[in-house]
Chain A
């Protein structure tokens, strides 16, 4: 069965960086887009970015320009999301999610399988 397992909770100081991992299994890693989303406390969902595991191409939300980097390791079927220059507003649960769409087609942004979430707390 499809599984996405994320790394554990993080506590960081403002200005620091964090790198969250998402290890996938149960399907062909290169075949489906992976997205990163986050949810601030008591708030709704926010899309952060997408990576194509086949070729490593990425796109991200404009508001995160210059701060987000997404990468993948095909040997371990793992994707990573690094967020730099952390602010208190980045405190949230971070999710990776697998698209329903294969990478041969354009994504329609359907998040069919989710990781369990990674709590990031940014505080002095």
Chain B
């Protein structure tokens, strides 16, 4: 099963908003609302940002939000900060009862 499709990189300036897309198929995002997003800074473990498409774990700023439409999910970061510079991964439950990840998006805050 192929990975979910994410842009390789996105960039934005402090204070701006950016969105990262994550495209799947009817075997994953298109059928299930079990989408999650992770932030990974260099040399560290990923951190859960969003689960069940739109929910934030406690401690995650409300600048991070998730959405989904048809076969694509999106992560939006508003009020971009320098500390948001990291790699971002989407993930989804699949028809095989396994998870699948996107290839990752490198966010640069310029």
Give chain A's interface residue range (CB within 8 Å of chain B): 10 to 19
Contact of B101 with A47 in the complex, beta carbons under 8 Å: yes
How many pairs of A and B residues are in contact by the CB < 8 Å rule? Answer: 54
| Secondary structure type dominating chain B contacts | strand
| Contacts of B1-50 to chain A: CB distance below 8 A | 3, 34, 36, 38, 45-48
Contact of B45 with A116 in the complex, beta carbons under 8 Å: yes
Give a binary string over A15-45; 1 marks a CB under 8 Å from any B CB, 0 the rest.
0000000000000000000000000000011
Chain B residues positioned under 8 Å from A111 (CB to CB): 36, 38, 46, 48
| Contacts of A69-124 to chain B: CB distance below 8 A | 95, 97, 100, 108-112, 114-117
Contact of B51 with A110 in the complex, beta carbons under 8 Å: yes
Q: Shortest CB–CB separation between residue B40 and chain A, in angstroms?
A: 8
Contact of A46 with B45 in the complex, beta carbons under 8 Å: no
| Secondary structure type dominating chain A contacts | strand
Contact of B101 with A61 in the complex, beta carbons under 8 Å: no
Q: Shortest CB–CB separation between residue B53 and chain A, in angstroms?
A: 11
Contact of B101 with A95 in the complex, beta carbons under 8 Å: no
Residues of B within 8 A of A (CB-CB), count: 22
- On whether A109 and B93 interact (CB within 8 A), knowing A46-B101, A47-B98, the answer reads yes
Contact of B47 with A114 in the complex, beta carbons under 8 Å: yes
Contact of B46 with A114 in the complex, beta carbons under 8 Å: yes
Chain A residues positioned under 8 Å from B51 (CB to CB): 100, 108, 110, 112
Chain B residues positioned under 8 Å from A61 (CB to CB): 98
Contact of B101 with A115 in the complex, beta carbons under 8 Å: no
Q: Shortest CB–CB separation between residue A72 and chain B, in angstroms?
A: 20
Beyond the given A59-B98, A109-B91, A109-B93, please list 9 additional residue pairs across the A-B interface where CB-CB is below 8 A: A45-B89, A45-B101, A47-B98, A97-B45, A100-B51, A108-B51, A110-B34, A110-B52, A111-B36
Residues in chain B within 8 A of chain A (CB atoms): 3, 34, 36, 38, 45-48, 51-52, 57, 89, 91, 93, 97-104
Residues in chain A within 8 A of chain B (CB atoms): 44-47, 59, 61, 95, 97, 100, 108-112, 114-117
Name 22 A/B residue pairs within 8 A (Cβ), A-sorted.
Answer: A44-B102, A44-B103, A45-B91, A47-B98, A47-B100, A61-B98, A95-B46, A97-B45, A100-B51, A100-B57, A108-B34, A108-B51, A108-B52, A108-B93, A109-B36, A109-B91, A109-B99, A110-B36, A111-B46, A111-B48, A114-B45, A114-B47
